[in-house]
Amino acid sequence: MSDAIDKNRRSLIQLGLVCGTSFVIRPALAFADELLDLVAPEINNVVAVRIWPSHIYTRITIEADYDIQSAATTGADSLIVDLANSHLNTILQSMPKKIINSDPIIKAISVIQQDTTTVRIKVSLKQAVKIQMKTIAPVDLAGVSYQYRYVIDMYPDTTTSLDDKLNDDILALLQLQSNGTEDVHVIASSPIIPKTYKKQSDKKLLVMLDPGHGGEDPGAIGPTGIKEKDVVLDIGYKLYNIINSTDYMEAKLTRTQDIFIPLGTRVAIARKAKADVFISIHADAFTTPKARGASVFVLSDHGSSSGFAKWLAKTQNDSDLIGGMSFKSKDKITSSVLLDMTETMTNKKSTQLALNLLPNLSKIGRLHNRQVEKAAFAVLKAPDIPSVLVETAFISNPDEENQLKNSDFRQKIAEMIFAGINKSKSHFL
């Protein structure tokens, strides 16, 4: 307690004593407490805690109404994080209940009030990990609003067994192990169990499917609350299954779970896998619920083809701000991907694929634009991989959101995208 506040309290107590009766002292003390509430600094509050486990890495997000300052120490099997100027509230106390048994990294969590101003979080680990921590400033973008976030990213410490030339934390954990396991995902209360297929030929067309958003970044949210990240992951899996049922194509996914992957990393995944084609899948929103219809975009090196395309590219490129990008990339090729323009031949192949996708998408619904749109999407900037971004429908439109909730409609979208790829395959072999 400060000297000034203490002096005020003593003065008020003395006032009660001067009045000579005990019934005066109690109101005076109560008034002194009210005065303390006005003068004392506001208590910092943690407003949410989220844990995002995956096969690739596990993220802990602590959201608060203040800029969290911390100190961390790591051991062989634990991580201790001390949150300064914090108090233990019910939200922090709920952290242990958020752990799931299948989390490959977190074994247990304990949270205590270490001292009057410090909360200590101890994370017991199942394996050796590399850790990155970062405070992210508040964001209010594309309908997503977060206060200050403190993120802890933990991923398996396997870099010693990888090619030293990668020299990149994020590439070290991206082993594309996503295609070797069976996983269950839930969309609109309906489980989807993706199948896996064995590669039958060494000369298959490799298609990298990129379900947009994920984890901290929900993407667009429909009128009834359905999230873009869930819808496009399901479409991605359905398309993955169709492609891998052929004997002349193979599909991989940039993400297979509800996990945040930075935009540049999605490009790095495709380049590392030596993909022949890159397709980013979305179901976006617009400022008016009247907007509807599918669109297909390619990278532009001369500005956007329309105001809508420019606006959409900005909202998509803001994903790293929403998701809270904390991975550090040291790989020169990966870094240059976000700066270099697409080579002429790559752009030509991208446009041809887009032209083949549009008429197929029109078979299951209306098109927002019958022309191929162009804009500076960061996720399309692989200089050596033909890349397109497909906006399957507007999740902000009540009718189209209702369609996107339907598994059969999502299956039709996957089939129509496949038809467009299939028609274009000769351009990529």
Question: Helices 228-244 and 407-424: crossing angle, nearest 10°?
Answer: 50
Q: How far apart are CA 248 and CA 202, in angstroms?
A: 9
For residue 32, what pLDDT is reported? 38
Say if residue 247's pLDDT is above 90. Answer: yes
Q: Tell me the average pLDDT across 204-229.
A: 95
Place of tokens 């080579």: 343
Q: Tell me the average pLDDT across 50-79.
A: 92
Place of tokens 């590669």: 199
What proportion of the chain, given as a percentage, has pLDDT over 90? 54
Contact 398, 223 (CB under 8 A): yes
Q: How far apart are CA 358 and CA 363, in angstroms?
A: 9
Contacts 24+ apart (CB under 8 A), 71-78: 72/131, 72/133, 74/131, 76/128, 77/124, 77/125, 78/122, 78/123, 78/124, 78/125
Using CA atoms, how far residue 344 sits from 187, 298, 334, 336, 373, in Å, is 39, 12, 20, 17, 17
What proportion of the chain, given as a percentage, has pLDDT over 70? 75
Q: Which of 19-28, 72-81, 331-340, 384-393 has the weakest average pLDDT?
A: 19-28
Say if residue 182's pLDDT is above 90. Answer: no
Give 89: exposed, middle or buried? Use CB within 10 Å, 0-12, 13-18, 19+. middle
Give 311: exposed, middle or buried? Use CB within 10 Å, 0-12, 13-18, 19+. middle
Average pLDDT, the chain: 81
For residue 36, what pLDDT is reported? 35
Range among 3-7, 44-48, 121-125, 273-277 with highest mean pLDDT value: 121-125
For residue 403, what pLDDT is reported? 97
Using CA atoms, how far residue 158 sits from 106, 164, 172, 286, in Å, is 17, 11, 7, 42
Q: Kindly report the pTM of this predicted structure.
A: 0.80
pLDDT digit string (tens) for 217-230? 999 999 999 999 99
Beta bridge partners of 62: 49, 150
pLDDT greater at residue 182 or residue 353: 353
What string of DSSP letters covers 66-118?
S---EEEEE-SSEEEEEEET----HHHHTGGGG--TT-SSEEEEEEEEEETTE
pLDDT digit string (tens) for 315-333? 898 998 999 876 665 555 5
Q: Which of 124-138, 147-161, 371-385, 413-427 has the weakest average pLDDT?
A: 147-161
For residue 27, what pLDDT is reported? 40
398 contact partners, CB below 8 Å, separation of at least 6: 222, 223, 289
pLDDT greater at residue 195 or residue 117: 117
Extract the tokens encoding 237.
């899996």
Q: Which of 270, 183, 283 is nearest to 231 (CA)?
A: 283
Q: Tell me the average pLDDT across 250-260.
A: 93
Q: Tell me the average pLDDT across 197-205.
A: 59
Q: Which of 41, 191, 13 is nearest to 117 (CA)?
A: 41
Q: Which helix (H) or strand (E) holds 176?
A: none
Q: Which of 4-18, 62-76, 231-245 has the weakest average pLDDT?
A: 4-18
For residue 333, what pLDDT is reported? 53
